[in-house]
Amino acid sequence: MFERFPRKHTLVLLGHPELMFRLSMMCNEDIKSRISYSRQVLPLHDEDLAKFIIAELAAVGLGANTFDEAALQVVLRAVQGNLRLCANLCYASLLAACLDRQRIVAVSHVNSALQQPHWRSHEALLKQQVKPTRGQS
C-alpha cells in the first residue's frame, strides 16, 4: 500500500501508545519517517469520563441514571482512562441491556460486553481455548 502512496505527502496518524512501538519496527520505518507531528494523549480521570458518559447520554435524550452506579464504576475501571474504549464499552453495555429488555444498564450488562472476544487479552483468549486430548488433532 505504501509503495503507491505519494512520497511528498505527509501522514497524520492518531492512535494508541502502542502505535509508536509498532512504528518503531524496521518494516514500518518508511511510515514513521513521514510523521510530522505527534503527541501523547494521557488517560482521562474517572470524573472526566463520567462527565463524558453523562453528556453523551443527555445528547441522545437518555437520563444520567441510565447506568446504575455499580455499572458505571465497572466501566471506568475497565477502560483505564481511554475515551474511545469508554464510548465503545458504554455502547456495548447499552446493547446488552436492550437485548435483556432493561432500561437501566447493570453490572451484568457491562460484564456481558466485557466477555466479548475483542475486550479480552490475547493471553486470556488462549487460555480459554480447549486443548485437544491425545489422539485428537
Residue 24 and residue 18: Cα distance in Å, rounded?
10
86 and 23 within one domain: no
Residue 124 and residue 137: Cα distance in Å, rounded?
22
Task: Report pLDDT digits (tens) over 59-79.
Answer: 999 998 999 999 999 999 999
Place of cell 482512562: 81
114 and 101 within one domain: yes
Burial 1-15 (b: 16+ CB within 10 A, else e): eeeeeeeeeeeeeee
Burial 88-114 (b: 16+ CB within 10 A, else e): ebbebbbebbeeeeeeebbbbbbebbb
Find the DSSP H helices in the chain. 17-23, 29-32, 46-59, 69-79, 83-99, 107-114, 122-128
Give the pLDDT of residue 66: 97
Q: Which residues of the chain have pLDDT under 70?
A: 1-17, 121-137
Give the pLDDT of residue 14: 66
Give the pLDDT of residue 19: 79
113 and 50 within one domain: yes
Give the pLDDT of residue 118: 79
67 and 88 within one domain: yes
Write out the three cell numbers for 22.
Answer: 509498532
Residue 89 and residue 113: Cα distance in Å, rounded?
7
Give the pLDDT of residue 1: 52
| Containing structural domain, residue 31 | 7-41
11 and 33 within one domain: yes
Residue 108 and residue 24: Cα distance in Å, rounded?
40
Give the pLDDT of residue 56: 96
91 and 53 within one domain: yes
